[in-house]
Amino acid sequence: MSGKREQWASGHGFVLATIGAAVGLGNIWRFSYVAGENGGGAFLIIYLLCVVFVGASIVFAEMALGRQASGDAVAAFENSSPGSRWRYAGWVGVIGSFLILSYYSVIAGWALKYLVGGLTGILWLAAGEGFGGYFNRFISNPGEPVAWQMAMLAATMFVVAGGVQRGIEAINRILMPLLALFVVGLAAYAATLPGSGAGWRFLFVPDWSVLLQREVYIAALGQAFFSLGVGMAVFITYASYMTRETRIPLFGSAIIVGDTLFAIVAGLAIFPAVFAFGMNPEAGPQLAFITLPQMFLAMPGGEFVGPLFFALLVAAALTSMISLLEVPVASVVHRTRLNRWGATTVIGVAVFAVGIPSAMSFGLLSGIQISGRGLLDFIDQTVSNYVLPLAGILICVYVGWRWDRSTALSAADLAGKSVGLIWLWLLRLVAPAMILLILFDSTGAL
């Protein structure tokens, strides 16, 4: 075990780092394609309900759990229940974030390739063959996606190895405000495009018939977990570097509001443009990589807006990857004699190796299909829609029921406040019930 544990330099730095964890590919790439596939406006409503009634209370619980730990994700459970099996709930987070990072880095690598391609102009040369062909040729290449994945992981490892204050906090302080500016600028630009109103309507005017489709509910729940970054001990770990003075309700709310606004504003950058150029919002995971370059090419100033968009995607991905890597690294530092550099190297290399099949899942390994999906898609859907919600239930039960009421309330800085009781009952009943209902319903069991 290492000596003195690191801490955030300030509450402000903690908030930016956690918003950095929450805002990522999930808000831009994943939100836009999942919302696109699931009908837009009606999906948005269910998504918001999932954020408010399920995700939010678990964010607070993870923070409460993490702050009292002053150790890794496993210690968060061990400290308050020594010797109990609850420590495995911590391991779920450690292994889960490792797994998410393994394929997340692949998509982050795609974004990096498009950024570099946009800046050098290589991307625009693909217009001739069509961006669909270009993208498919890229992701089916045996080596290239692996190389870009490696580049993103190397950058992530570099920051994490730098430590909590000088690595993670420092980079988030720079990138997060920039990111907010970028995305608002892009949305403002998209609003000026002729025909952009259809995109606003798509996102804000619900088509109620969508509510009859059961896949929409599980997609919204999974997206809420993924986008907030909840269920995989990221907030537990980040909160373990908090000082006692920081206030969980305030900081937790900032993250939830920030993440949600970010997804909506990103949607307002993407959908108006998609409609203005007569493209299909239901393009799926390829939306950001095929539809958008086409749009950038067609619009005035696209050579600049395009790289700006992909820079945004890369920056957002990086700060989330940092959070995902920090969870297992914190555990290794806490539990072995390795220092931060050593732990980062070992875990980073392992993540890379485990991610290679995902990177190849559109090329050499495209023959591997599990229930109709390629490897990367299958892992993403399974983790987001099932593993994250189930891990969320563990946190609900632990903080809501295993801790007594006053411990839980004071750990979350909610003692004596009326919202404290609302939080507690969301955590105890509403969130687990909604998760179970949606999971059972989507598997057809109801």
List interacting residues with ligand TRP (CB under 6 A). Answer: 21-22, 24-27, 97, 100, 226-227, 229, 231-232, 234, 320, 323-324, 388
231, 73 in Cβ contact below 8 A?
no
Comparison of 308 and 321: residue with beta carbon closer to ligand TRP: 321
Query: Per 3-state DSSP, what percentage of the chain is helix, strand, and coil (rounded to 5)?
Result: 80, 0, 20
Comparison of 108 and 276: residue with beta carbon closer to ligand TRP: 108
Comparison of 43 and 277: residue with beta carbon closer to ligand TRP: 43
Comparison of 228 and 248: residue with beta carbon closer to ligand TRP: 228
Find all residues with CB under 8 Å of 136, minimum gap 6, and list them: 362
Closest separation between CB of residue 172 and ligand TRP, Å?
A: 13
Closest separation between CB of residue 316 and ligand TRP, Å?
A: 7
Q: How far apart are CA 319 and CA 23, in angstroms?
A: 8
Q: Are strands 369-370 and 373-374 parallel, antiparallel or unpaired?
A: antiparallel
In degrees rounded to 5, what are phi and psi of residue 207?
-100, 100
Structure tokens at 133: 């062909």
Comparison of 22 and 314: residue with beta carbon closer to ligand TRP: 22
Comparison of 196 and 358: residue with beta carbon closer to ligand TRP: 358
Closest separation between CB of residue 90 and ligand TRP, Å?
A: 14
Residue nearest to ligand TRP (CB): 26
Closest separation between CB of residue 104 and ligand TRP, Å?
A: 7
Find all residues with CB under 8 Å of 202, minimum gap 6, and list them: 40, 41, 271, 275, 281
Closest separation between CB of residue 364 and ligand TRP, Å?
A: 27
SS (H, E, C) 365-405: CCCCEECCEEHHHHHHHHHHHHHHHHHHHHHHHHHHHHCCH
Q: How far apart are CA 365 and CA 360, in angstroms?
A: 6
Q: How many Cα atoms within 13 Å fall on the side-chain side of residue 336? A: 15
Q: How far apart are CA 41 and CA 442, in angstroms?
A: 20
Closest separation between CB of residue 102 and ligand TRP, Å?
A: 12
Comparison of 25 and 56: residue with beta carbon closer to ligand TRP: 25
Q: How far apart are CA 179 and CA 309, in angstroms?
A: 10
Comparison of 126 and 395: residue with beta carbon closer to ligand TRP: 395
Comparison of 263 and 375: residue with beta carbon closer to ligand TRP: 263
- CB crowding 262-281: b at 16 or more within 10 Å, else e: bbbbbbbbbbbbbbbbebeb
Comparison of 46 and 313: residue with beta carbon closer to ligand TRP: 313
Closest separation between CB of residue 29 and ligand TRP, Å?
A: 8
54, 439 in Cβ contact below 8 A?
no
Closest separation between CB of residue 21 and ligand TRP, Å?
A: 5
For 67, the 3-state DSSP assignment is helix
The alpha carbon of residue 298 and the mean position of all alpha carbons in its chain are separated, in whole angstroms, by 30
Closest separation between CB of residue 421 and ligand TRP, Å?
A: 27
Q: How far apart are CA 320 and CA 104, in angstroms?
A: 9
Beta-bridged to residue 370, according to DSSP, are 373
Closest separation between CB of residue 6 and ligand TRP, Å?
A: 19
